[in-house]
């Protein structure tokens, strides 16, 4: 018997969603409590829902979908995960069509989803293509065992930047308590974000400062790996931040942001930020870093030079709907 149920945020549901996710995921795992934490800080003013697919009372798949903010309010971002034993088209179709019925209530005109170039996602990718989704963006994905990186050759670069007045601070431990820290950091992140390519038709949106602060505090309390800020003459000019999920993969960091303001590029600051982050993470016992960049982003050259190796790329598929 096949049955769809709406998500009610019970611990059993969080655990089952994590179980199915980990059956599909090809290179990292999640802990249900991390998912639960993120669920409770979601923007409750926007559509954000989950449907669970059961067969004979066992969860075999789910769909998560959420409405975009501000200029993207008519866009829905979604993901479907199906137990590989039940990855046939009919099960994907049940969840997908259930979402379509629901998102009509917000007059949605675009839907966006991410998959990976990996066998676990092959059936879903075929389904998307059959449903007239188009490939909107491809992202390189990389992994590195950071203890294998020879950091010594980069110390001269960091020293050179220091002589030019560029200093590097760890956000949480070095400069968090400065009165204007979060204002300057939010402004920097917003400027960096706008330089990152995203699928055509989707726009970067800026959170209110209060919402930004709420999410930043969540990061620092729940999944902080490190956050390095490049500063010159008191101005924040570049940054990188990495998360670590201590419950599921305490030895692995995920790059969230790495960027430098346009006027300060081509000086090696991005490389230095990466090196400073790696140094900090090694001290904390982190063994691996996972990172990504858009297919045309030259940052991949830095990653490959440091010894990052490619893992299956991520693919973002977009569909315009009536």
Q: pTM (2 decimals)?
A: 0.94
Of the candidates 99, 131, 163, which is a domain's last residue? 131
Same domain? 15 vs 93? yes
The CATH number of residue 196's host domain is 3.40.630.30
Same domain? 202 vs 99? no
Same domain? 114 vs 147? no
Bridge pairing between strands 252-260 and 288-294: parallel
Q: Is 253 left (phi over 0), alpha (psi -120 to 50) or beta?
A: beta
CA distance linking residue 24 with residue 19, whole number of Å:
9
Same domain? 118 vs 156? no
Report how many domains make up the chain: 2
Tokens of 156: 């001269």
pLDDT in 10s for each residue of the chain, 322 residues: 899 999 999 999 999 999 999 999 998 999 999 999 999 999 999 999 999 999 999 999 999 999 999 999 999 999 999 999 998 899 999 999 999 999 999 999 999 999 999 999 999 999 999 999 999 999 999 999 999 999 999 999 999 999 999 999 999 999 988 889 999 999 999 999 998 889 989 999 999 999 999 999 999 999 999 999 999 999 999 999 999 999 999 999 999 999 999 999 999 999 999 999 999 999 999 999 999 988 777 778 888 889 999 999 999 999 999 7
CA distance linking residue 265 with residue 89, whole number of Å:
47
Same domain? 279 vs 198? yes
3 state SS for the chain:
CEEEEECCCCHHHHHHHHHHHHHHCCCCCCCHHHHHHHHHCCCCCCCEEEEEEEECCEEEEEEEEEECCHHHCCEEEEEEEECHHHCCHHHHHHHHHHHHHHHHHHCCCEEEEEEECCHHHHHHHHHHHHCCCEEEEEEEEEEEEHHHCCCHHHHHHHHHHHHCCEEEEEHHHHHCCCCCHHHHHHHHHHHHHCCCCCCCCCCCCCCCHHHHHHHHHHHHHHCEEEEEEEEECCEEEEEEEEEECCCCCCCEEEEEEEEECHHHCCCCHHHHHHHHHHHHHHHCCCCEEEEEEECCCCHHHHHHHHCCEEEEEEEEEEEECC
Same domain? 174 vs 263? yes
Question: 254-263: per-residue pLDDT in tens?
Answer: 999 999 999 9
Same domain? 157 vs 42? no
Q: What is the pLDDT of residue 297?
A: 73
With respect to residue 137, please indicate whether it lies within any of the assigned structural domains.
no
With respect to residue 76, please indicate whether it lies within any of the assigned structural domains.
yes
Full residue range of the structural domain in which residue 189 is found: 142-313
With respect to residue 95, please indicate whether it lies within any of the assigned structural domains.
yes
Same domain? 185 vs 212? yes
Of the candidates 131, 162, 192, which is a domain's last residue? 131
Q: What is the pLDDT of residue 112?
A: 98
Of the candidates 131, 155, 190, which is a domain's last residue? 131
């Amino acid at each position: 018997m096949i049955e769809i149920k709406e998500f009610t945020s019970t611990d059993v549901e969080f655990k089952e969603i994590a179980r199915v996710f980990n059956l599909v995921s090809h290179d990292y795992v999640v802990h249900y409590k991390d998912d639960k934490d993120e669920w409770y800080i979601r923007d409750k003013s926007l559509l954000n829902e989950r449907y669970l697919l059961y067969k004979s009372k066992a969860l075999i798949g789910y769909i998560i979908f959420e409405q975009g903010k501000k200029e993207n309010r008519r866009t829905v971002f979604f993901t479907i995960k199906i137990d590989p034993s039940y990855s046939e088209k009919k099960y994907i179709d049940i969840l997908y069509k259930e979402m379509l019925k629901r998102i009509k209530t917000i007059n949605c005109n675009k839907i966006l989803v991410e998959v990976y170039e990996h066998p676990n996602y092959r059936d879903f990718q075929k389904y998307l293509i059959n449903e007239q989704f188009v490939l909107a963006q491809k992202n390189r994905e990389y992994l590195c065992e950071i203890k294998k990186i020879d950091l010594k050759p980069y110390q001269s670069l960091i020293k050179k930047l220091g002589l030019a007045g560029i200093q590097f601070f760890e956000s949480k431990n070095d400069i968090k308590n400065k009165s204007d820290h979060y204002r300057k950091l939010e402004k920097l992140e917003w400027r960096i974000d706008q330089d990152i390519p995203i699928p055509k038709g989707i726009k970067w949106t800026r959170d209110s400062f209060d919402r930004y602060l709420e999410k930043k505090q969540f990061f620092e309390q729940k999944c902080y790996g490190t956050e390095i800020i490049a500063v010159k003459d008191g101005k924040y000019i570049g940054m990188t931040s990495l998360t670590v999920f201590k419950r599921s993969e305490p030895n692995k960091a995920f790059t969230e942001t790495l960027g430098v303001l346009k006027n300060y590029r081509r000086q090696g600051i991005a490389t230095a930020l990466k090196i400073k982050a790696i140094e900090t993470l090694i001290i904390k016992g982190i063994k691996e870093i996972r990172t990504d960049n858009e297919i045309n982003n030259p940052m991949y050259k830095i990653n490959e030079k440091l010894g990052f190796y490619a893992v299956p790329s991520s693919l973002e598929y977009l569909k315009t709907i009536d």
